Chain A
Amino acid sequence: QVQLQESGPGLVKPSQALSLTCTVSGGSISSGDYYWSWIRQPPGKGLEWIGYIYYSGNTYYNPSLKSRVTISVDTSKNQFSLKLSSVTAADTAVYYCARLNYYDSSGNFDYWGQGSLVTVSS
């Protein structure tokens, strides 16, 4: 059974960078069978896809966040990470890591982490 677990600071100051790491267990990122994504959810609101990474390091980002987002992977640790720069209060959200099951030009998120609440405040 694949499990994902987010970790990182729960409080970030405005204009600074948000950094989270997702540790994957029960499966290897290096298998190349899946893509690995970040998704966020502001309090009381819906889900927003942030981007994905493949084990090779190939990435794709939501255009609305592209200028501030970096997703990286460390296959030796079976982890992938999110960095969001120049944060504001609007970036306050629960951040989820998820496995993207991509096939035949379609894709769904079949395994999710429990989520990590990040608050942007001074």
Chain B
Amino acid sequence: SYVLTQPPSVSVAPGQTARITCGGNNIGSKNVHWYQQKPGQAPVLVVYDDSDRPSGIPERFSGSNSGNTATLTISRVEAGDEADYYCQVWDSTSDHPGVFGGGTKLTVL
């Protein structure tokens, strides 16, 4: 099955830019989706189709995808952005289509 690789942790100071990567074989050919999960809460979709934002998600959240790496970028990071972030693809060619990355813990210093 398709494998998505994320760094376990990323740290950033408030007001700075956080970049969380998601690696996968030719991931640029797939649509990548990103979720934010705060402690004790369900995940929330923050970016879909590489770079689109659902209604209600701040413009500070953006995404890109090319080659073997997709990236979630959070600009002007706030304390409230501290959370776990997961990337996800739907690999329709696989017998295991629903794939999540291992998750990245974003710490706001």
Q: Which residues of A contact B (CB under 8 A)?
A: 37, 39, 46-49, 52, 60, 62-64, 96, 100-102, 104-110, 112-115
The listed residue with most B CB atoms (<10 A of its CB), out of A48, A62, A96, A114, is: A62
Return 10 A-B CB contacts under 8 Å, by A number: A46-B103, A49-B98, A49-B99, A60-B97, A63-B96, A106-B31, A106-B90, A107-B90, A108-B33, A109-B35
Contact B86 A46 (CB under 8 A): yes
The binding surface of chain A is classed by DSSP as strand
**B95 contacts the other chain (CB 8 A):** yes
**B45 contacts the other chain (CB 8 A):** yes
Interface residue ranges of B68-92 to A (CB < 8 Å)? 86, 88-90, 92
Contact A106 B43 (CB under 8 A): no
A102-B101 Cα distance, complex, nearest whole Å? 19
Chain A nearest CB, measured from B59 CB (Å): 19
Chain B nearest CB, measured from A100 CB (Å): 8
Chain B nearest CB, measured from A68 CB (Å): 15
Q: Which residue of chain A has its CB nearest to the CB of B47?
A: A108
Contacts of A112 in B (CB 8 A): 42-44
A109-B31 Cα distance, complex, nearest whole Å? 13
Chain B nearest CB, measured from A106 CB (Å): 4
**B61 contacts the other chain (CB 8 A):** no
Q: Which residue of chain A has its CB nearest to the CB of B34?
A: A108
